Structure 1
Amino acid sequence: MSRLQKPRNRHAFQRLFKRQLSLAYNLHEPAKAEEGRAPLIFLHGLFGSKQNNRSISKALARDLKRPVYALDLRNHGESPHDPTHTYSAMADDVEEFISKHKIHVPVMIGHSMGAKVAMTVALRSPKTVSALVPVDNAPVDASLSSNFPKYIQGMREIEEAGTDKRSEADTILKKYEEALPIRQFLLTNLTTSPIREHLHFRIPIKILAASLDNMGDFPFKDPDEARYDGPTLFIRGTKSHYVADDVLPLIGRFFPRFELRDIESGHWVISEKPNEFKEAVEDFLREKESRDD
């Protein structure tokens, strides 16, 4: 690019200065893959990891007869840490992962934070994505649930307490979250290290705390600027507020071929109703592929 040339839009300009990270992942392969079926890339939510989607990834690989890549996004799981934690930066990482592993037009599935990453990839690079499944999040700027700052506060208190027992960590976290499944989910990030005296969180709490406002944002504001015309399934929890009815027209402008599937659950759709989630994804992909065949 010459000095006089300018990228077509601000997203292209931002990508000139991106710092891509090499993401950790698990590859779940079926006993016998069917040729011509698009692989799946599975992206977790905030404070999650590839381990959260292990069981459902194995089941989808088995039933859909195709590989499933479950990724750790930056600052999560076993992936590297970086002070920049935005959807554009995470999309950079995922696009680099697709290129590096030579994955041909994957189906992108993402929950919560991962849903916005998947949508960002699809809108930026629509020809690299064969289908899209955002789970309980929408392409809008919206405030995060007030629970997330509380979780950060609880994790900080656990580290400051210098505890050596998970039971003690759980007791501290209970002040911030009553639901045991959510506490167990958060505590999957607790680990030990030969260079650390006490239990600590493997996620960079300081970075993620500073990035909470970013997690409510969405990189694209104008549906006339970018659009993904591929098949898209929005899955939402009926007891959640992240995909309200009044945002459906905007979703339709960004993703004109979208379908909507409601599942009776809260925000943690996949863990609360795994069978219903799996059925929704499988029905969607089988119908898509029957039209393509």
Structure 2
Amino acid sequence: MSALCRLIQRGLLSCRPSCRLFPGQQDVCGVAPMVRAASSSSPVNLTYDVFDGKGESTPLVFLHGLFGSKSNFHSIAKSLVQRTGRKVLTVDARNHGNSPHSSELTYEAMTSDLKHLLAQLHIEKCVLIGHSMGGKTAMTTALTQRLVVVDISPSQTSTRTNFRYYIQAMQKLKISSDIPRSTARRMAEDQLRSLVKSHHKLSFLPQERSVRQFLLTNLVEQNGNYAWRVNLEAISAHLDDIMSFPNFNTVYDGPTLFLGGASSAYISSDDYPEIQRLFPNADIQYIPDASHWIHADKPLDFISSIISFLQS
């Protein structure tokens, strides 16, 4: 999904958000969620990484997609710092990476988290670059200076995904304790493949192995036990919210880039009317031979497209 750039009027605090990690405990299913509870009624303190540039231009803020983390964009961030001189931040969404867990997972909540982070960092202007879920978070954020949306549109996307089956499989996973990480990953991938295969024909598609490898980046080891660092319970409960998009009657008429993968179905011609309604100055581009994970499939083309947009 893609990204949005928001103008935050003034910063409130000058402290780095952080969260404390608590080891997950193995349950009857073998793989426990990591527990980092947070109140569902207030913004959470998102974890992030900063790549400092020497330039004075507005910083770039990357928002990852479902089951992703801030590390997804590290190599992209380093390249953009070198080529543009801008400061770049990569951010973990709530219930993902090292950010706190919360029972709430809506775009309104994630937008509140983002505003809270930017205010804490005294970032008054930025360019948000959001992929998939991160793109919808960016679009939901109020008026911004520039917006880049990566392979997602402001429309329903649940029919194009296979995540419901993977969530169910991840919740059923059983991994032995005190085994090497490489062995645990092989065991987990074998179980994911067999569990999803028994429920859904999409498990036979070649790209499903890449999806499994991506999901397994969330399998972490603590004290000999393996746990999911993402909040599977909250993601499962709010999957319909994540796959949908809030209703808006307002319009963002600033520069907007919708960057899709030519081999992906996440931005189709059916989505153009809604994109043009909400973002009348949107430019829709596709990167050849790229799937939903454009930044991983075609990193050089992805970076070039962002730089061209920033210079336009």
TM-score tier by shorter-chain length is: 0.7 to 0.9
Is the aligned partner of 1:217 residue 2:244? Answer: yes
User: RCO greater where, 1 or 2, for CA within 8 Å and sep 6 or more?
Assistant: 2
Gaps of 5+ in 2: 1-39, 197-202
Are positions 1:256 and 2:276 aligned together?
no
How far is the alpha carbon of 1:174 from its aligned partner? Answer: 2.6
Measured against aligned partners, the alpha-carbon deviations of 1:203-232 in whole angstroms (never above 9, x if no partner) come to 11111111111111111x24xx21112111
Describe how 1:1-293 pairs up with structure 2 within 5 A. 18-30=41-53, 33-35=54-56, 37-121=57-141, 124=142, 126=143, 129-158=144-173, 160-162=174-176, 164=179, 165-175=184-194, 176=196, 177=203, 179-194=208-223, 198-219=225-246, 221-222=247-248, 225-264=249-288, 265-287=290-312
Contact 1:109 1:118 survives alignment (8 Å): yes
Deviation at 1:142, TM superposition (A): 3.5
RMSD over equivalenced CA pairs, Å: 1.7
Q: Percent identity?
A: 39
**Take 1:161 and 1:27, find their aligned partners in 2: how far apart are those partners?**
34
Deviation string, structure 1 residues 113-161 (Cα, Å, up to 9, x no partner)? 000001011xx2x1xx221001011112332534101221221232x34
Letter of the aligned partner of 1:280 in structure 2? S
Report how many aligned residue pairs link the two structures. 257
Separation of aligned partners in 1, 2:185 and 2:209: 13
When structure 1 is superposed on structure 2, of 149-158 and 277-286 the one drifting more is 149-158
Displacement of 1:169 in angstroms is 1.3
Residue 142 of structure 1 aligns to which amino acid in structure 2? T
Q: State TM-score, norm by structure 1.
A: 0.83
- Letter matched to residue 238 of structure 2: S
What's the TM-score, normalizing by structure 2? 0.78
- Between the aligned partners of 1:133 and 1:205, the Cα distance in structure 2 is 28
